[in-house]
Amino acid sequence: MTLVVKKVDERKLREFKAEAVRRGLTLSQAIEEAIDLWLSYRPLRGEADADNAAYVRERRRLEAYRGMYAVFAHGRFIGAYRTLEEVTAALRALSPRPRHAVVVKVGEDEGGELEWWGGSMRP
């Protein structure tokens, strides 16, 4: 079938076309692959969204657990633990076993910008 899409970001589309060429795909093959990928990631993304939303809700209360690992899974706060062994035990005790969890070392995991000399995403 023919598909017409308006208002697509030009830069993103240019990168997408270039990547399709690099992988030896036509534009329609690449779009189909992207659709498959997006659909297959959907459940996982849902779990990640729920865990991140739980983290954002609880963020202010985490100050009491400074230096500990706070764990969020199944969209809720599971607990705060002193060691990663305790985190593993807590995650393994959950039913169903989570495919995604947010684990944050309170007061220490803060992101930031690092460097990668000559970094390239080409395989």
Site for another protein in 14-43 (CB under 8 A): 19
Kindly state whether residue 121 participates in binding another protein, applying the rule CB under 8 A: yes
From residue 45 to residue 84, the character string flagging contacts with another protein as x (rule: CB under 8 A) and all else as - is ---x--xx--xx----------------x----------x
Token pair for 66? 């400074």
Query: Distance (Å, rounded) from C-alpha 26 to C-alpha 30?
Result: 6
Q: Report the b/e string of 86-118 with b at 16+ CB within 10 A.
A: ebeebbeeeeeebebbbbbebeeeeeeeeeeee
Q: Give the H or E element holding residue 30.
A: helix 27-58
Q: Give the H or E element holding residue 84.
A: helix 84-92
Q: Quickly tell me which residue has 């991140």 as its tokens.
A: 52
The one among 1, 8, 11, 112 contacting another protein by CB under 8 A: 112
Judged by beta carbon, residue 64 or residue 94, the one nearer another protein is: 94
Query: Least distance (Å) from another protein to the CB of residue 1?
Result: 27
Judged by beta carbon, residue 28 or residue 57, the one nearer another protein is: 57
The residues of the shown chain that bind another protein, judged by CB under 8 A, are 19, 44, 48, 51-52, 55-56, 73, 84, 87-88, 91-92, 97-105, 109-121, 123
